[in-house]
A and B are shown apart, each in its own frame.
Chain A
Amino acid sequence: MDFATLLQVLDSTVRLATPLLFACLAGLFSERSGVVDIGLEGKMLAAAFASAAVAAVTGSVWLGLLAGIVSATLMSAIHGLASITFRGNQLISGVAINFLASGLTVLIAQSWFGQGGRTPSLIGGGRFTPITLPFAEALSGVPVVGPIYAELISGHSILVYVAFLMVPLTWFVLYRTRFGLRLRAVGEAPEAVDTAGVSVIGLRYAAIAICGLLCGLAGAYLATGLQAGFVREMTAGRGYIALAALIFAKWRPWYALWACLLFGLLQAVALRYQNIDLGGIVIPVQVMDALPYILTVIILAGFVGKAIPPRASGEPYLKER
């Protein structure tokens, strides 16, 4: 593999890791507050459809982005209602949200656009266009560093940069602000937070709102950045891969970045090469597809370090009387 091919694979790694990263951080906020979220997939899907549909109708990708965020946040609100207010089973609620998004998106797409459950292809202002960072042209002649800067770092759409900036931001919010401290506390010992006079329900709803916002970004990037329009089931399990990355990262922001890049790399390699020949041993493409899930199971099994979720995750909080 030569240097140019390597750069191309890494370039598509960055692009494929972006929706995973948004969704993974979304899950991080939710699960750190004690609300398990296996509905990431559904929220992304809803956001992908809403953003593509609005962008197609209005021609403005920014209105599309807004619509994506609103729809994912609405889905989050349903999850919150079920799992925080009515103290229902969070896993079941997540499953319901995945199916709700899967069905509703196609149903509405068919009713609005009549193209078999997809939106029209986005053109012009309906998509996020690549941004050329300053000096990318001038530096591209410099050996090694030049192409890396010009091809790998420059030339992505704005949401890619937002996603990568979200990592330090998430770290800062979680570990350096009062809100973050309370958020982490409410996922570990909600009764202590309650005793301190801070609303458990309020904090969890705030976490779920952030989760919706980030899932909205993930879905919008999928439909208006990575691809040009919505097709049915376009998230294709990315929500679950993000969930896997979250466990892989043991619910920490910087590790989430590396996990998402790793899983993005696996997707990029699987996309580019069908079967990989490693000196006589051929690795079929299906192994690459399954690898994120296999790795997650191994991590979960505790063979490579133990993944311990926030203590109160999955348990609804009932105030003592």
Chain B
Amino acid sequence: MDKMPAWADAVLVPLISILLAAALSALVILAIGENPVDAFRLMVDGALMRSAGWGYTLYYTTNFIFTGLCVAVAFHAKMFNIGGEGQAMIGGLGVALVCLFIPFPHWSVGLLVATLAAGAFGALWALIPAYLQAKRGSHIVITTIMFNFIASAVLNYVLVNVLRPQGAMDPATAKFPEATRLPTFQDIFATAENPLFRGSPANVTFFLAVLACVAFWFLMWRTKLGYEIRAFGHSESAARYAGISPVRITIVAMLISGGLAGMMALNTTMGEAERLVMNATEGAGFIGIAVALMGRSHPVGIFLAALLFGFLYQGGAELALWTNIPRELITVIQALVILFTGALDNMVRMPLERIFLATRRRNG
């Protein structure tokens, strides 16, 4: 046996990768003349030590769970969906349309319909790249990148020319009706004597995201479709011999992936802004790549990775507020995480494997 134990593969490799990314990030902070220890303490203070900080952290976490799951579904089918950003933008359009034009009696009904709309719009935006990959062999990575730009142009057009209220200057829709307002954590948990989560945007969509994690696990490891997706991802030829249609799996996996990305828009559009704005996604679609890689495409890992990135995002905002370190530090950390857990995986894995084999030989 020349393999590492499974726990080392699942826990040790990502952990070392994150430590490497953290060490390099600390060096970057040092290089721009700030103290990394102070910076870290400030981030923890701002993101985790107050309930309002948690409110923001969990708000970002919600976004990243959805986009992380989106990338992960595609990864299981051995596809790389860079289009989460565009799919989330179009998902937002779906949310905005139902919220603006259907008079909902209660937010719960609104959330249900909006979830369906967000998922359907996101899935539809992923359908064309999926079809082109499955039927015409055009590479999904390139087409999804192109579709991000096309989505941005579509959204720009719709917001400027169609959905912008008369007289308004900024490209955004009108405010959604009061009935579609989702309860925030403040509404749910705060009491008169204990005002928890004050002013923070975390809302019920967080529970939807957790539910999505469970559903993802069930789909991937407990259903026939999930088995087929994973089999297809492991070996396309073997899957084909087993009677699994590559066209069907490619399209279905991408539809699920796009749908999950679209649902992210529930949190930003319905939960936070309560109207559709131009840059609602804020790059969360791309952070999903880092989250899925770090979480090893497993829902538990994705939840933890999304939490970490939620913390980084909120902590980064605090840093930008109180120090001379701009928010872009988080982009650098994100890049390093993607680099180490995704592209330089072998650099971490190969020495580790050697160590494990050496100790085993000594013992055996």
- Cβ-defined contact, A106 with B145, below 8 A: no
Q: Which of B149-157, B218-226, B228-236 faces chain A? A: B149-157
- Cβ-defined contact, A110 with B154, below 8 A: no
Whether A193 sits at the interface, judged by CB under 8 Å, is no
- Say which size band chain B's interface belongs to: 35 or more
Whether A296 sits at the interface, judged by CB under 8 Å, is yes
Q: Please, how many angstroms separate the alpha-carbon atoms of A60 and B179 in the complex? A: 61
- Cβ-defined contact, B335 with A97, below 8 A: yes
| A81, A103, A106: most-surrounded residue (chain B CB, <10 A) | A103
Pick from B142, B150, B325, B344: contact of A247, CB under 8 Å: B142
Task: Type the 1/0 row for A24-62, where 1 means its CB is closer than 8 Å to any CB of B.
Answer: 000000000000001000000000000000000000000
- Cβ-defined contact, A95 with B338, below 8 A: yes
Pick from A87, A103, A104, A294: contact of B346, CB under 8 Å: A87
Whether B36 sits at the interface, judged by CB under 8 Å, is no
- Cβ-defined contact, A88 with B82, below 8 A: no
Whether B141 sits at the interface, judged by CB under 8 Å, is yes
Whether B242 sits at the interface, judged by CB under 8 Å, is no
Pick from A284, A301, A307: contact of B157, CB under 8 Å: A284
Whether A102 sits at the interface, judged by CB under 8 Å, is yes
Whether B309 sits at the interface, judged by CB under 8 Å, is no
Q: Which of B49-57, B253-261, B326-334 faces chain A? A: B326-334
- Chain A neighbourhood of B183, CB < 8 A: none
Q: Please, how many angstroms separate the alpha-carbon atoms of A296 and B293 in the complex? A: 28
Whether B136 sits at the interface, judged by CB under 8 Å, is yes
Whether B5 sits at the interface, judged by CB under 8 Å, is no
Pick from B32, B132, B147: contact of A111, CB under 8 Å: B32
**Residues A99 and B150 in contact in the complex (CB < 8 Å), given A88-B344, A91-B141, A106-B326:** no
Give the secondary structure class of A's interface: helix
Whether A125 sits at the interface, judged by CB under 8 Å, is no
Pick from B139, B160, B332, B343: contact of A103, CB under 8 Å: B332
Q: List which B133-176 residues lie within 8 A (CB) of chain A.
A: 136-139, 141-143, 145-147, 149-150, 153-154, 156-157, 160-161
**Residues A78 and B138 in contact in the complex (CB < 8 Å), given A92-B80, A99-B331, A106-B326:** no
B248, chain A: closest CB distance, angstroms: 19
- Chain A neighbourhood of B342, CB < 8 A: 88-89, 92-93, 95-96
- Cβ-defined contact, B286 with A296, below 8 A: no
A129, chain B: closest CB distance, angstroms: 32
**Residues A286 and B157 in contact in the complex (CB < 8 Å), given A92-B338, A244-B146:** yes
- In the complex, besides A98-B335, A107-B329, A297-B132, 12 extra interface pairs with C-beta distance below 8 angstroms are A38-B141, A82-B344, A88-B347, A102-B331, A103-B334, A106-B326, A107-B28, A244-B146, A286-B160, A293-B150, A301-B132, A302-B137
What are 18 A-B residue pairs whose CB atoms fall within 8 Å in the complex? A38-B145, A82-B343, A88-B345, A91-B82, A93-B344, A96-B339, A102-B328, A103-B331, A240-B149, A284-B161, A286-B153, A294-B150, A297-B147, A297-B150, A300-B143, A300-B146, A302-B138, A307-B138
